[in-house]
Structure 1
Amino acid sequence: MSMGGCIILIAVGAILSFATDWHMKGVNLTLVGWIFMIVGLIGLFVFRSVGRRRGVVMPPAQTTVIEDERNRRI
């Protein structure tokens, strides 16, 4: 999930929790909104931690080349 997807989840969750007055039988929209917001926050934290790991670049291993003068043809 990208950072934009996490922000959308948080926004939709906030709308469901705080800005709606719908009542559906068998579904608590306030709870669903809170769940969306929590999942969005967890996604943001995971996205940040993975992004930090990708930022670390290891230098390539350098190999030593030794030329053998005996096998060199002129």
Structure 2
Amino acid sequence: MGIGTSIFLLAVGAILTFAVNASVGGVDLDVVGWILMAAGVLGLVMVLLMRGRRRTVTTAEPVAYQRVEERRDVAPPL
């Protein structure tokens, strides 16, 4: 789950919890909203933790240069 998906889940959950006053038979929209917001927060925390643990390794040593010679006595392939 990415940052965008987490923020989307948070927004949809907040809308269902705080802005919608409709009732659907057998489904409590407030509970669904809270569950979506919890999933969004959990996903956001996990994404940020994984991003913090990602390390890039760079080497300070220069790349070894190789000499390349072109042979002109060989005919190119047909």
Interval of TM-score (by shorter of Structure 1 and Structure 2): 0.7 to 0.9
- Please list the CA deviations of residues 21-70 of structure 1 after superposition, one character each: whole Å capped at 9, or x if unmatched: 1101100000000000000000000000110111x22456x8xxxxxxxx
TM-score of the pair, normalised by structure 2: 0.71
* Residue identity in the other structure for 1:49: L
Which residue of the partner structure matches residue 26 of structure 1? 26
Structure having the higher helix fraction is: 1
Which residue of the partner structure matches residue 69 of structure 1? none
Aligned residues: 60
TM-score of the pair, normalised by structure 1: 0.75
* Residue identity in the other structure for 1:18: F
For structure 1, which runs of at least 5 residues remain unmatched after alignment? 63-74
Take 2:58 and 2:5, find their aligned partners in 1: how far apart are those partners?
A: 33
Which residue of the partner structure matches residue 56 of structure 2? 57
Which residue of the partner structure matches residue 66 of structure 2? none
Give yes or no for the alignment of 1:10 onto 2:13: no
Which residue of the partner structure matches residue 35 of structure 1? 35
After superposition, the CA RMSD in angstroms is 1.3
